[in-house]
C-alpha cells in the first residue's frame, strides 16, 4: 500500500490584501481544495502597494489590515485544510520580492518596517528568529538576483512564469549559489489564470514548525505543473 502524498501551495495572494490580486481568500481556498491540496501559505504582499501613503511609514500599526486575507482563509478552511501565514516583502524603491516562511502575527507587529530593512538586515532578522528567507521568482523579467549570502534559498518554479525559461535559470542559479532550500509556488492571484505550484510531502504539515522542518530537510518534491 503506497503512502499518501500531501500537497501544499507555498505562494498565494488574496484580493483581500494584495491589490494586484483579483481572487479573494474564499476563492483561493476553493481553488486549492478542488485540486486536492491539503493546505496553503498565504503570502500577501508586504509592500508599498499594500501599505499606501502614511501606512507605509509604520506598517506594523496596520497589521490587522494585512492579516485580513490570512484570517479569512483560516476561518473558511475547515479542520482538514492547513492555512499558514507567510509574506512576500518588497523594499522601498525596488521591484524585487522575497518570501518569508515561519512568521506569526507577533513577528509582523514587533519587527519594525520590513520594507525599510533591505536584504542584509532582513536576513539577519529572519536568521535570528529561525525563519526562512527566499528570493521569489528570481528570473522574472526586469528582476535582479541578490547576494546569496543573505538568502536561505530561492523559488525555482513560479506559476506566473510557467512556459518561460525562468525556472531553468533559477535552478541553475540556485545550484551555483549552493542553496539548500528550493521551493515552488503558484503565485496565486487569479483563480482563472493560476498555474498551481508548491510541494508534495509524505507527512502532513499543520504548523509553521512542520513547514520549516520539511523545507530544510528536503523531504519533499516540487510541484511544477
* Cβ-based burial of 91 (10 A; exposed 0-12, middle 13-18, buried ≥19): buried
- Taking the alpha carbons of 43, 33, 220, 105 in that order, is the dihedral positive or negative? positive
State the pLDDT at residue 1: 46
State the pLDDT at residue 211: 98
The span from the CA of 31 to the CA of 73, in Å, is: 12
State the pLDDT at residue 2: 57
| Nearest alpha-carbon partner for 41 in 83, 88, 98, 99 | 83
- Residue 216: count other Cβ atoms within 10 Å of its Cβ: 14
The span from the CA of 212 to the CA of 191, in Å, is: 27
User: 3-state class of 90 per DSSP?
Assistant: coil
State the pLDDT at residue 3: 80
State the pLDDT at residue 158: 98
Low-confidence residues of the chain, pLDDT below 70? 1-2
Which ranges of the chain would DSSP assign to H, the alpha helix?
A: 25-34, 63-66, 68-77, 105-110, 118-128, 166-177, 208-217
- Span 151-163, pLDDT tens digits: 999 999 999 999 9
- Domain 6-222: give its CATH superfamily: Metal-dependent hydrolases (3.20.20.140)
Write down the domain spans for the chain.
6-222
The span from the CA of 50 to the CA of 10, in Å, is: 20
Amino acid at each position: 500500500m503506497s503512502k499518501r502524498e500531501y500537497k501544499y501551495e507555498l505562494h498565494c495572494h488574496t484580493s483581500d490584501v494584495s491589490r494586484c490580486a483579483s481572487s479573494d481568500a474564499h476563492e483561493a481556498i476553493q481553488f486549492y481544495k478542488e485540486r486536492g491540496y491539503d493546505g496553503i501559505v498565504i503570502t500577501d504582499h508586504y509592500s508599498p502597494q499594500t501599505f499606501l501613503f502614511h501606512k507605509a511609514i509604520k506598517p506594523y500599526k496596520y497589521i490587522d489590515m494585512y492579516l485580513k486575507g490570512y484570517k479569512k482563509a483560516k476561518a473558511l478552511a475547515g479542520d482538514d485544510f492547513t492555512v499558514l501565514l507567510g509574506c512576500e516583502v518588497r523594499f522601498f524603491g525596488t521591484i524585487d520580492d522575497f518570501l518569508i516562511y515561519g512568521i506569526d502575527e507577533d513577528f509582523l507587529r514587533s519587527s519594525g518596517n520590513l520594507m525599510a530593512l533591505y536584504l542584509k538586515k532582513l536576513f539577519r532578522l529572519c536568521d535570528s528568529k529561525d525563519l526562512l528567507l527566499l528570493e521569489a521568482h528570481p528570473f522574472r523579467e526586469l528582476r535582479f538576483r541578490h547576494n546569496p549570502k543573505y538568502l536561505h534559498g530561492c523559488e525555482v518554479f513560479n506559476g506566473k512564469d510557467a512556459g518561460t525559461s525562468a525556472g531553468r535559470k533559477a535552478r541553475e542559479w540556485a545550484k551555483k549559489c549552493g542553496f539548500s532550500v528550493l521551493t515552488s509556488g503558484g503565485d496565486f492571484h487569479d483563480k482563472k489564470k493560476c498555474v498551481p505550484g508548491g510541494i508534495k510531502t509524505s507527512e502532513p504539515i499543520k504548523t509553521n514548525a512542520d513547514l520549516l522542518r520539511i523545507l530544510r530537510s528536503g523531504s519533499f518534491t516540487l510541484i511544477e505543473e
